[in-house]
Structure 1
Amino acid sequence: VGKEPTPCILGHGAPGGHDQSHSQINDISWKEVTNTLSLANMVLGLFSIIFSFSRKRQCASWMLLVSFLLDMAVRAMTSHLNICSKLGAELNAFAIFTTFGLASALLLGLDGLLSGTLAIICVSAAAFRLCFYSPGVPSTYRGLPCPYASSILASTSLLTKGNTFILCCMASLMILFMMDRSYYPHDKILESENWKTLVYIGGVVMLFFSLLSLSACYCLVWSLSYIFFPNALWGKAARLSSQH
């Protein structure tokens, strides 16, 4: 959300040669993989919406946390392999809006005026970032990326068992962070230091092989560290590369 597209690099290898054809085939294959992952992300968001309407907030929150990790994998593959696809970009944008906008907002519930209003504002904030927010600087995002806001809401929902008041307070903060003009670094979870990759692997292990409460604590601390220590922790690699 609010990310600059990765520039396309065409014409690998000698023109018309075997290397070029092989590279193009590989590009097409990886595009299909990333498109499939984006589609899976959107499907998880739709399931989260269904669970929210069925008042199964634990399941809805778990779906969002899995989508949080899935979105990072898609971003890493797209950036590392320099995959550029109009269809993939549109599919990913729709998946982001569905999962981290609409599905996340529905965790607040629609039982009262306050929660309903905040849900509408959450969806609007996600749509605004998706359509109009440009990072301005290639190595940063402006405003908190929606996946992190969604992760915090989902983790809070799991830890508080869907307490509406606490969720509304947290949603209000996340809206302010998303619409803030501050800059956040590209986290590069799977593309830079090894410890960041370990953080990601830890999230996968927690979500699939641990208690939901422990998974929620892990993702909450992870996401909050990105908000409160963006440059000290998650921007280190970008800062070092700029110095060199």
Structure 2
Amino acid sequence: MTNDQSPPQMNEFSWKDVANALSLANMILGLFSIFCSFCKKFHCASWMLLISFLLDMVIRTVTRHLNICCKSGAELNDFAVFTTCGLASALLLGMDGPLNGFLAVIYVLATSFRLCFYSAAGTPFTYKGLPCPYASCVLASTALLTKGNTFILSCMASLMILFMMDQSYYPHDKILDSENWKKVVYLGGVIMLFLSPFSLTAFYCLMWSLSYIFFPDALWGKAVCLRVQHLRN
């Protein structure tokens, strides 16, 4: 009996290790982004956050598709998201003045509040408040396109804080296990990240994130609506 049960257990533990390794890699990207921001290399810091944005979708897909539910793994992933989407993203605003520093602190607090209290939406297939990776992607893309213009970044950060703290519901995007066109959008982001000019990639990711923020149901919630209707029936 013991021999029959050990292969599934080993397989389960190995996939948990893969998910944890991806979360750790995501956190390392955030730490590198923080280091780059301290060294005034905001271009590299923004680039790390865009990679983290794409990696986060892989992590969510792996944990959801394999039905991996582990307390330690969930805490590691939340800490990785807080590091990249909270601390690292806030440092893109710079610390040149008290106003930017204050806004950066508010952004970090909004991210932590969103992760702590809005994680469980209570409604199937939805997030409560804007998911932090999308807000981070908007800031990173804006930083690349504007070459770190602090005024524009401050305006975008204020807007992202409002969206994260808002109690509106956003659909689960499920990029990698949903409609084919969503997979094409993700694949396009990966290809552009490594093969296209920086400005074009930043524009692509910005439009991608803004489409999710301003048209969540019209573009990204069609499959979600079908699932909810199926559950009701």
Superposition TM-score, scaled by structure 1 size: 0.91
CA distance in 2, matches of 1:132, 1:235: 23
More helix by share: 2
Contact 2:124 2:228 in 1 (8 A): no
What does the per-residue CA deviation read over 1:10-54, in whole Å, with 9 as the maximum and x for residues that have no partner? Answer: xxxxx8673x43322211111111100000000000000010011
Return the match for 2:108 from 109, 123, 141: 123
Q: Residue 238 of structure 1 aligns with which residue?
A: 224
Q: Residue 179 of structure 2 aligns with which residue?
A: 193
Q: Residue 168 of structure 2 aligns with which residue?
A: 182
CA distance in 2, matches of 1:79, 1:23: 18
Q: Residue 198 of structure 2 aligns with which residue?
A: 212
CA distance in 2, matches of 1:84, 1:27: 11
CA distance in 2, matches of 1:98, 1:132: 17
Range moving further from structure 2, 128-137 or 184-193? 128-137
Q: Residue 8 of structure 1 aligns with which residue?
A: none
CA distance in 1, matches of 2:81, 2:144: 21
CA distance in 1, matches of 2:126, 2:99: 33
What does the per-residue CA deviation read over 1:165-198, in whole Å, with 9 as the maximum and x for residues that have no partner? Answer: 0000000000000000100000010111011111
Q: What is the Cα-based RMSD across aligned positions, in Å?
A: 1.2
Is residue 144 of structure 1 aligned with residue 162 of structure 2?
Answer: no
Superposition TM-score, scaled by structure 2 size: 0.95
Q: Residue 57 of structure 2 aligns with which residue?
A: 72
Residue 214 of structure 1 and its aligned partner are, at CA, apart by 0.7
CA distance in 2, matches of 1:138, 1:23: 29
- Number of aligned residue pairs: 229
Overall identity of the aligned pairs, in % = 72
CA distance in 2, matches of 1:24, 1:127: 34
CA distance in 1, matches of 2:68, 2:84: 22
Unmatched segments (≥5 aa) in structure 1: 1-14
Report the 3-state secondary structure (helix = DSSP H, G, I; strand = E; otherwise coil) of the residue aligned with 1:137. coil
CA distance in 1, matches of 2:30, 2:228: 36
